[in-house]
Amino acid sequence: MLARPLKYARPASVAEATALLRSHPGARPLAGGQSIVNVLKLRAAEVDALIDISRLEELRTIAATPDGGLELGAGVRYVELASAPLVRERLPIVADVADGLVDVQVRNRGTLGGNICLNDPTSNFPPLLVALGATIRIAGAGAERRSVPAGDFFVGPYRCALEPGELVHSVVLAPLGGDEGVGYQTLQLARDSWALARAAVWLRRDGDAIADARVVLGCLGPRPARQGAIEAALLGGGGGEASVSAAVAAPLEGIDAVGDSHASPEYRVEMARVYAKRAIHQALAQTEAPA
Amino acid sequence: MNDPETTHLVEVQINGERYERAVQARELLVHFIRDTLALKGTHIGCDTGNCGACTVLVDGQPMKSCMMLAVQADGLSLETVESLSPAGEELSDLQKAFNDQHAVQCGWCTPGMLMQAKALLERDPDPDVETIRRTLKGNICRCTGYVNIVRAVQQAAGQDVSAGIQQEARA
Ligand SMILES: Cc1cc2nc3c(=O)[nH]c(=O)nc-3n(C[C@H](O)[C@H](O)[C@H](O)COP(=O)(O)OP(=O)(O)OC[C@H]3O[C@@H](n4cnc5c(N)ncnc54)[C@H](O)[C@@H]3O)c2cc1C
Ligand code: FES
Ligand code: FES
């Protein structure tokens, strides 16, 4: 279907883009377009104008932070995340997740910023960024910037903590220490395909014991869901098979699973526990072996 | 700073030719290619970004032209299926391979498959079967069952496909 009549602008800077968004309340940013173009065709949202941010060099940088982490511009495309040596070296999980998104064509256009701003329950990056404890840097008026922890950024389905006129500028990721590990496991229809249940895990080991953990489930509710009870059950444990199995049996939080032709809600929740367990073992395997 | 406008003048390079046209902001790139420029080789299958029939190369990279606005192609260089063998000339090796391997039935997916395959072979002139299959994931074919398409890409890469389908299935 044809979209409603629409206006378009391609500003030359982030400051111009946020100014246009402020002065045109019906305007929305256009990044890779791999979601919003379909929204326009379906006439599913009232969009009067698109502000094309996809060519803004300020948003397209992959930078090393002094602490050994990464700052990833919102406009960096999946294909670029997947192939950047710096991302591979510092946080290979980010490159792997980008490389497993949808298909070649979507990877050639879709952006990190678009992925997290859409925040569909099945979106690949939101649970990972919550597990990694990422910081979302937001551009406001002029040179104004503010930061929001990923855990607070994802508000609900298709909603995030942006105020009108704001843009996601970049995603800041802390480095992974040798005693830390990350796991990301998805039940999906096929490789690179639609997800039915997803778990993302970050943890830190101190000697024999798990000292800190973030366990996040995706696809099962309005936003990536931190699992406080699973995390609490892991702490102090050695990460053995029996203790991890017991931990993932803890009561789940923030879950409101819906079923479809692929899987019932009950099946998704059951599988989420299985994939959480696998993600925990994946993360543990990356931590330094206890002395 | 330019305010948002409904109509834009775009300049694109398509198959080596320069086009300058006024477009509506809401116009999809695939409609611009097919209807405005009358390059009908590029197909529309699903119009939802799922099937890949509309795949064209944008600055050498495969993208779905139903998931881009025409105005987003401003200043860029595009290749469509027509570029593979200009009218009146012989088919390219890639097209011949599709023909030889019976990789075309109804032909709806073919323009997208060809452009995806062309980009793959430019990146990776000797891809393994797994790479070919994974690369074609964003191109749906409802006729062939894909085996012949994979073999056509192998033939175009100069690989030996004489061993036949059964052998490939066993490998
Ligand atoms: C067939 C198909 C299957 C898909 N399957 C999956 C999947 O399994 N998993 C998955 O994660 N994704 C999937 N996607 C979506 C894809 O990853 C999109 O690329 C992504 O959701 C949006 O990124 P984009 O850059 O294309 O953003 P756009 O479509 O341009 O924008 C998406 C939204 O974010 C806003 N936005 C974009 N950038 C910013 C910014 N910097 N600041 C503020 N707002 C911004 C836009 O205004 C819009 O509301 C699929 C897409 C297709 C076509
Ligand atoms: S018509 Fe564009 S992906 Fe199907
Ligand atoms: S040949 Fe008919 S869809 Fe591929």
pLDDT at B163 over 90: no
| Residue at a domain's end among B62, B83, B104 | B83
B72/B18 same-domain check: yes
CATH no. for residue B42?
3.10.20.30
Ligand 1 cavity residues, CB under 6 Å:
A 28-36, 53, 74, 101-102, 106, 109-111, 113-115, 117-118, 122-124, 162, 167-168, 194-195; B 49-50, 67
CB contacts < 8 A, A to B, total 105
| Residue at a domain's end among B65, B83, B101 | B83
Q: Which residues of A touch B138 (CB under 8 A)?
A: 102-106
Mean of the per-residue pLDDT values for chain B? 95
- pLDDT range class, residue B168, cuts 50, 70, 90: low
- pLDDT range class, residue A212, cuts 50, 70, 90: very high
pLDDT at B166 over 90: no
B77/B37 same-domain check: yes
The alpha carbon dihedral of A236, A239, A240, A246 has a sign of positive
B110/B60 same-domain check: no
Determine, for residues B4 and A5 on separate chains, whether the beta-carbon distance falls below 8 Å.
no
The pLDDT score that the predictor gives to residue A1 is: 63
B123/B145 same-domain check: yes
The pLDDT score that the predictor gives to residue A16 is: 97
- ipTM for this model: 0.95
CATH no. for residue B140?
1.10.150.120
User: Does residue B88 belong to any structural domain of this protein?
Assistant: no
pLDDT at A291 over 80: no
Q: What is the pTM of this model?
A: 0.96
CA angle A78, A222, A14 (to 5 degrees): 45
The pLDDT score that the predictor gives to residue B51 is: 98
SS3 content of chain A, % helix, strand, coil (to 5): 35, 25, 40
Q: B104 is written with which tokens?
A: 């075309």
| Residue at a domain's end among B22, B53, B83 | B83
User: Does residue B33 belong to any structural domain of this protein?
Assistant: yes
Q: How far is CA A92 from CA A161, A204, A277, in A?
A: 27, 17, 20
pLDDT at B171 over 50: no
Q: Which residues of B touch A99 (CB under 8 A)?
A: none
Nearest CA to ligand 3 atom 4: B141
B99/B43 same-domain check: no
* DSSP, res A77: B
B76/B47 same-domain check: yes
Mean of the per-residue pLDDT values for chain A? 96
Q: Which residues of A touch B63 (CB under 8 A)?
A: 105, 108-109
Determine, for residues A104 and B8 on separate chains, whether the beta-carbon distance falls below 8 Å.
no
Nearest CA to ligand 3 atom 3: B141
User: Does residue B49 belong to any structural domain of this protein?
Assistant: yes
Q: Among B2, B4, B61, whose Cβ lies nearest the Cβ of A108? A: B61
Give B169 Cα–ligand 1 centroid separation in angstroms.
36
Q: A134 is written with which tokens?
A: 């990422």
Please indicate if any CB of chain B lies within 8 Å of the CB of A120: no
Please indicate if any CB of chain B lies within 8 Å of the CB of A39: no
The boundaries of the domain holding residue B128 are: 93-156
User: Does residue B164 belong to any structural domain of this protein?
Assistant: no
B74/B129 same-domain check: no
User: Does residue B169 belong to any structural domain of this protein?
Assistant: no
Task: Give the integer Cα–Cα distance in Å for B118 and B151.
Answer: 14
pLDDT at A289 over 80: no
Q: Which of B169, B1, B20 is nearest to A21 (CA)?
A: B1
Q: A2 is written with which tokens?
A: 């044809």
Average pLDDT over residues B90-117: 98
The alpha carbon dihedral of B119, B124, B127, B131 has a sign of negative
Please indicate if any CB of chain B lies within 8 Å of the CB of A148: no
User: Does residue B1 belong to any structural domain of this protein?
Assistant: no
Task: Give the integer Cα–Cα distance in Å for B141 and B154.
Answer: 17
Which residue type, as a one-letter code, is found at position A117? Answer: C
Number of domains in chain B: 2
B79/B28 same-domain check: yes
Q: Which residues of B touch A33 (CB under 8 A)?
A: 67-69, 72
Task: Give the integer Cα–Cα distance in Å for B69 and B60.
Answer: 18
Q: Which ligand neighbours the alpha carbon of B105 most closely?
A: 3
User: Does residue B165 belong to any structural domain of this protein?
Assistant: no
Give A115 Cα–ligand 1 centroid separation in angstroms.
4
Q: Which residues of B touch A7 (CB under 8 A)?
A: 4-6, 25
The pLDDT score that the predictor gives to residue B88 is: 87
pLDDT in tens, A136-180: 999 999 899 999 999 999 999 999 999 999 999 999 999 999 999
Q: A176 is written with which tokens?
A: 């992974």
pLDDT in tens, A25-57: 999 999 999 999 999 999 888 899 999 999 999
Domains of chain A, CATH where assigned:
7-52 (3.30.43.10), 57-173 (3.30.465.10), 180-286 (3.30.390.50)
DSSP secondary structure string for all residues of A164-199: TT-EEEEEEEPPPPTTEEEEEEEEESSTT--EEEEE
B14/B78 same-domain check: yes
User: Does residue B171 belong to any structural domain of this protein?
Assistant: no
What chain B residue is nearest to A25 in terms of C-alpha separation? B4
Average pLDDT over residues A263-276: 97
CA angle B49, B53, B59 (to 5 degrees): 80
